[in-house]
Amino acid sequence: MIAAQSRRAAAIAAVVAASAISASMRAAAGAPAAELSLAADRVAAVHGARLSHESGGEAVVLRSSNAEYHSGMRLLPPPGKATFDLSSGRYLAADLENLSDHQQRLCLKIDDAARDAYASIALDPGEKGTVKLQLPHRSVYSFPTGATGVRTLDTAAITNVAFCVVWPYEGQFSGLLNFRISNVRLVGSPDWARSVAPAAYLPFVDKFGQFAHGDWKGKVSSADELRADLAAENASLKPAPASWDGYGGWRNGPQLAATGNFRTEKVDGKWWLVTPSGHLFYSLGINVVKVDSDAPDGRLHPDWYESPAQASMAFPTWNMREKFGKSDFRMDCYDLVLRRLDSWGINTIGNWSDGLLTSLSRKPYAIVAASRPADVPYLPGGFYDTLDKTFAEKMSQAVAAAFAAPGSALETAAGDPMCIGFFIDNELSFPSDAAYFEPYFKACKEALAAAAPGKLYLGCRFKGLRNPDALWNAAAKWCDVISVNSYVGSVEVFGRGEYAAPAIDKPILHSEFHFGTMQRGMFSAGLCPVGDQCERGRAFRRVVEGALRHPLFVGSHWFQYRDQPLVGRGDGENYQIGFVDVCDRPYEKLAEAARAVGETMYELRF
């Protein structure tokens, strides 16, 4: 007890010292009004962009036909300075207006000498919005050696401020970028209360898996709150949209042939999935729907945790036990999950989800049949040796073995009308030699046809939309649906313009996307950061609505159901990208946006 009191006293003293340091930094921070000028001599075009000024130099119109990385505009530091001082704001923000005839996306990006940070936005034609980047101040979010936390920048010495394209996939065409940019500014003050002195930082993961320091709306402090959440949510959940059939297809749409399985059909120039009962279906899904995933090994860093370190720090599982008041909670939990998905307007359980959940056969799902099986020939670079004469046979054997494995959800899925289809692999690195492409897709197609007759082959989840023509063509020949993981704010202009995808005519599933923030104590906003929870919801609507307007896209699957662990999964990813957090509390703005899409998506697409 005395030792604990001594540690607590030392921690309090350290926080007081940190507050004094923060106050000193706050007093020293200067007002950077001159830092962010849009005057003609303070902006520069990148990769052939064209800039013109309006409103007496207070606004810049950015136009570009170039879709290369960082294409756009950068700001120049004030005269006599080599860097920008952004240390006195909580956010860097700018007002944007889409002047084009199509949905556009743009990033606000900053760099220091070592790394970058950015926030994204997508706007419909004529729409105005504010892109907002939460500034990762080193003075606020620093953490001691041996711990982990927010990836920080030296915001007093920013080397680059830019409006640009990130993760480009678009083709080159006139008017690709056409934005009016104005009012570049700092918003708010740094969150000095979030600063934690090194001596007080450890442990930084509380017993619920949350960041232990600081407070925020929605932070759980007792198990009683988890139990209260369950009662409140049970009373608030809505049924699925009234226009849906039992599969989540469009009950009020045209009646097509019913085959007993999901299939594809082109209707009035647009590709669709079709339900087993013959209704049009757009797959709006969430990946990794399961109680727990990627639990970190607490034994590696026992001093990080308030709880005793274990091999699996399965905080969501522990929280669910408290929430449902019993250890065998999974069926109760998945009943809640399925009612949530209906209430949120989500009609599909995406990849990497729990086989127990998909096997309930209460909602359509897509599932991976195999991923880099061992007993198949490989090239030295890591891709399959598809030219080996044994490749097709061994791939077929590997897929058949996966379906026959005891307890596998695949065997049930093969005969389940709720199963849309199967993926094989994820984000492969294909070789440069196109000769390997078609044998790969052909073997996968034939292996699935033998193991699960009548089910759709959903491809291999390409890593991004920018791929060689030969790869698209090979996939289009053998896949029923081509799946693509692409972390961008809009897919509406995919295939438009020079250097775009080839003229394929095949359904595409946007199999992974997300948007995140550094809120609820999380350390990273993921691959598509946005300013806040409202913007997460708006970004969700824009990317899905853009896909709905595109003739090839037949589905959009969010990655993932729950935030990743605060300290990261095995590869370090620790993103705030869930529909729910570690304590199973939904992100309401995101859920509301998904419901709005689910209510209107069929009328919008048809």
**Residues 432-468 pLDDT 10s:** 999 999 999 999 999 999 999 999 999 999 999 999 9
CATH number of residue 252's parent domain: 3.20.20.80
Q: What's the pLDDT score for residue 19?
A: 42
Residue that terminates a domain, selected from 201, 218, 245: 201
194 and 235 in a common domain = no
Half-sphere exposure of 596 (CA within 13 A, CB side): 14
Task: For the beta carbon of residue 101, count every other beta carbon within 10 angstroms.
Answer: 10
Q: What's the pLDDT score for residue 211?
A: 98
38 and 177 in a common domain = yes
Q: Is 351 contained in some domain?
A: yes
Q: Is 493 contained in some domain?
A: yes
Query: Distance (Å, rounded) from C-alpha 64 to C-alpha 171?
Result: 12
Q: What's the pLDDT score for residue 496?
A: 84
Query: Distance (Å, rounded) from C-alpha 499 to C-alpha 490?
Result: 18
Q: What's the pLDDT score for residue 498?
A: 59
Q: How confident is the model at residue 554 (pLDDT cuts 50, 70, 90)?
A: very high
79 and 43 in a common domain = yes
270 and 154 in a common domain = no
Q: Does position 142 have pLDDT exceeding 90, yes or no?
A: yes
CATH number of residue 9's parent domain: 2.60.120.430
Q: Is 216 contained in some domain?
A: no
274 and 191 in a common domain = no
Q: Is 300 contained in some domain?
A: yes
Q: Is 575 contained in some domain?
A: yes
Q: Does position 56 have pLDDT exceeding 50, yes or no?
A: yes
398 and 271 in a common domain = yes
**Residues 7-44 pLDDT 10s:** 334 443 444 444 443 444 343 343 445 789 999 999 99
Tokens of 314: 């399965």
Q: What's the pLDDT score for residue 501?
A: 60
Residue that terminates a domain, selected from 184, 201, 218: 201
244 and 107 in a common domain = no
Q: Does position 276 have pLDDT exceeding 70, yes or no?
A: yes
Residue that terminates a domain, selected from 183, 201, 219: 201
Q: How many structural domains is the chain composed of?
A: 2
Q: What's the pLDDT score for residue 346?
A: 98
Q: What's the pLDDT score for residue 67?
A: 83
**Residues 308-322 pLDDT 10s:** 999 999 999 999 999
Q: Does position 407 have pLDDT exceeding 90, yes or no?
A: no
Q: Is 17 contained in some domain?
A: yes
197 and 317 in a common domain = no
Q: How much is the average pLDDT of 154-159? A: 98
161 and 74 in a common domain = yes
Q: How much is the average pLDDT of 248-263? A: 98
For 557, the 3-state DSSP assignment is: strand
**Residues 193-218 pLDDT 10s:** 999 999 999 999 999 999 999 899 99
Query: Distance (Å, rounded) from C-alpha 98 to C-alpha 160?
Result: 23
Residues 6+ apart with CB under 8 A from 328: none
More confident of the two residues 183 and 496: 183
Residues 178 and 279 sit within 8 Å (Cβ to Cβ)? no
C-alpha distances (whole Å) from 190 to each of 26, 88, 330, 343, 576 are: 8, 6, 41, 37, 20
Q: Is 222 contained in some domain?
A: no
Q: How much is the average pLDDT of 362-374? A: 97
Range of the domain at 362: 228-605
Q: What's the pLDDT score for residue 6?
A: 39
297 and 169 in a common domain = no
Q: What's the pLDDT score for residue 317?
A: 97
Q: Helices 533-549 and 588-605: crossing angle, nearest 10°?
A: 20
**Nearest one of 25, 131, 151, 32 to 86, comparing CA atoms:** 32
171 and 128 in a common domain = yes
Q: Structure pTM?
A: 0.94
Q: What's the pLDDT score for residue 22?
A: 41
Q: Is 274 contained in some domain?
A: yes
End-to-end Cα spacing for the chain? 68
The beta-strand segments (E) located in 172-310 are 177-187, 263-267, 270-274, 280-281, 283-286
241 and 184 in a common domain = no
Q: Does position 3 have pLDDT exceeding 60, yes or no?
A: no
